[in-house]
Amino acid sequence: MRILYLVFAALLLVLATPGYGQYGYHKGGCAGRCAKSCAKHELTSKTYDCKHLKCCTHPKKG
pLDDT in tens, 3-59: 988 888 877 776 665 554 444 555 678 888 999 999 999 999 888 888 889 999 988
What's the confidence (pLDDT) of residue 37? 93
DSSP 12-60: HHHHTSTTTTSTTPBSS--SSEEESS--TTSEEE-BTTTTTSEEEEPPP
User: Measured in whole angstroms, how far is the alpha carbon of residue 5 from the centre of its chain?
Assistant: 30
> At 6, phi and psi to the nearest 5?
-65, -40
What ranges do the domains of the chain cover? 24-62
What's the confidence (pLDDT) of residue 7? 84
What's the rounded Cα separation, in Å, for the pair 39 and 33? 11
What is the model's pTM? 0.53
